[in-house]
Amino acid sequence: MYENDAFSKWLGIERMEEREGYCKLKMVLTKDMTNGFNIAHGGIAYSLADSALAFAANARGVRG
């Protein structure tokens, strides 16, 4: 799934560990990804969480 996920790649998300029902990711937070409080923008945090959920849910490699 990651191979075709242009958005996760654009964010710089890297897969650390992945198995059925579990996924550990890492991403470097850049200045462009911060909000007015100089912390991760909520959209960035939720995008990382969304990718982790998708990779964990699809780790079996079964479609359909």
| Residue closest to 44 by CA, chosen among 53, 35, 55 | 35
DSSP line for the chain: -GGG-HHHHHHT-EEEEEETTEEEEE-PPPGGGB-TTSSB-HHHHHHHHHHHHHHHHTTT----
Domain residue ranges in the chain: 2-57
> What is the per-residue pLDDT across 6-38, written as a single tens digit (0 to 9) for each?
999 999 999 999 888 899 999 999 999 999 999
Backbone angles phi, psi at 8, to 5 degrees: -60, -40
pLDDT class of 2 with cuts at 50, 70, 90: confident
pTM of the model: 0.83
| CATH superfamily of the 2-57 domain | Hotdog Thioesterase (3.10.129.10)
pLDDT class of 59 with cuts at 50, 70, 90: confident
CA distance 4 to 17: 18
Q: Say whether pLDDT at 64 is over 60.
A: no
